[in-house]
Amino acid sequence: MLSGQAALPVKYKYPITIRLATLGSVLILIFTFLIYPRYLGLLELENVELQEILIENIPQTQQIERPPPPARPSVPVESEDEDIADDLTIEETDLDNFEAWDAPPPPPEGPRVKFIPYDDPPQPLSQIRPVYPEIAQEAGIEGTVVVQVFIDLRGRVKDTIILKGIPNTGLDEAAISAIRKTRFRPARQRERPVGVWISIPVNFRLK
């Protein structure tokens, strides 16, 4: 009986205790929110050191420029201008001194060239007149092309070898074409016609 009577006051006091604790917590929170901003306003910054920032101009790094690549060589282009031929002169082959032309030593392609002795050299029956290539005209290229030619016993050109040429200009081809179109009086050995190798220079000159 005594234990039951002693527990009754605690049962009735529990709700009151809970309510008082809750009310106290709410009051503490309200008091904290009201006081905290005011407390922050009272704070002062002391002993604050200002750090000076220096701005310096950083020198620009020197950049070494690479030299430009060499210019590509100009490629002669065929022109449609027909007036170029007026300023063109092809030097005529000197036929007077043709007998002085002698067979040169065999070129590097030696096995194809065989020296045949002769008394009278072959002579052209007409002037050798090559056609000057337009690509060489426009590029201003001139010079002498030396062609070694085999002329058979009938005076016909059978084989040609470029001894001294000007490649990639069309001059070599023009010289060979002009020589192949020319008929020759064959060389003679003891009054008999023979086939021989001779060298023929073909001159190309511009005015």
Distances (CA, A) of 99 to 16, 116, 126: 150, 16, 15
Task: Show Cβ contacts of residue 178 under 8 Å, excluding neighbours closer than 6 positions.
Answer: 128, 129, 130, 131, 202
What does each of the 207 residues of the chain score in pLDDT, given as a tens digit? 444 444 556 666 777 888 888 888 888 888 787 776 555 555 555 565 667 777 766 666 666 677 787 777 766 666 565 555 555 566 666 655 555 455 555 555 544 667 788 899 999 999 999 999 999 999 999 999 999 999 999 999 999 999 999 999 999 999 999 999 999 999 999 889 999 999 999 999 987
Q: What are phi and psi of 182, to 5 degrees?
A: -95, 135
What global pTM score does this model have?
Answer: 0.47
- Tell me the two tokens of residue 107: 């070129």
Task: Give the pLDDT score at 20.
Answer: 85
pLDDT at residue 197, as a whole number? 94
117-143 residues labelled b (16+ CB within 10 A) or e (exposed): ebeebbbbeeebebebbbbbbeeebbe
Kindly list the distances between the CA atom of residue 32 and the CA atoms of 18, 20, 29, 38, in Å, as whole numbers in the listed order. 21, 18, 5, 10
